[in-house]
Amino acid sequence: MRLRTFTLAAASGTALLAAGLLPADATAAAPRSAQEGTVSAADLLAKVTSCSQISSGKYRTDEETSATVPVCGKNGAVFWKADMDIDCDGQRTTNCNENRDPWFQADTAFHQSDGKPLNAETLPYVVVPSTSGIWNYSNAGIKGGGVVAVVYNNKVEYAVVGDTGPSQIIGEASYATAKALGIDPDPETGGADSGVTYILFKNSQVSPIESHSAAVTLGDRLAKQFLANN
């Protein structure tokens, strides 16, 4: 869970407890920075030009900003438009560890099929806000391992729901997600200030959660359904 300031980590009470030392998964390959699937960014964005708000309130993108981001509903999906902070939590790797990320935690809300935390450096995943009076992701049909189409700068990257974050802040994804979209993935200084669209497909789940190829296959199919149904 990437937090902009240390004070938020203390105040939010949503930080996951750090797990014990876990080795990096050296077998996973980082995703390439390219358009994934057959549905274009333009076609997806054309379906999310207006918002039917389903959240009870709005989210901030960072601790110091005002709450301006609603969660919006569509047939078969929910979406929001925000920034991208970098989540480097989970397995310790070359670029995701306490030395590179001052907010590093050695756990993620959802785990691989072998029980290990996710690998933020190699697995594209998205962070959803922890349940609060603003919105309950679970009640909306969003679950760990669910498929997310992340759209930025005319690129589409398929990711999974992999972690939970602060209950009042939205707009965060893993190191691998940022890198694939051409966003600076540095957990301390990287990210994107705006322009990122997150489309989460309801009642979807990638199995195993750590299979990015499975996320792309399922995501492409669900994206086609999304275009047809909206």
Among 7-11, 130-134, 176-180, 204-208, which stretch is predicted with the lowest mean pLDDT?
7-11
Which residues, including other chains, have CB under 8 Å from residue 191's CB and lie 6 or more apart?
Answer: 2, 83, 84, 85, 86, 178, 183, 184
- Say what the pTM is: 0.87
Question: Which CATH code is given to the segment(s) 33-229?
Answer: 2.40.40.10
Cα distance between residue 223 and residue 197, in whole Å: 14
3-state secondary structure of 220: helix
pLDDT in tens, 200-215: 999 999 999 999 999 9
Measure CA 81 to chain center.
12
Report the number of secondary-structure helices (H) and strands (E) in the chain: 4, 7
SS3 of the chain: helix, strand, coil, percent, to 5:
15, 25, 55
End-to-end CA, the chain = 32
Confidence of residue 35 (pLDDT cuts 50, 70, 90): confident
pLDDT in tens, 41-83: 999 999 999 999 999 999 999 999 999 999 999 999 999 999 9
User: What pLDDT was estimated at residue 34?
Assistant: 57
Largest Cα–Cα distance of the chain, in whole Å?
Answer: 46
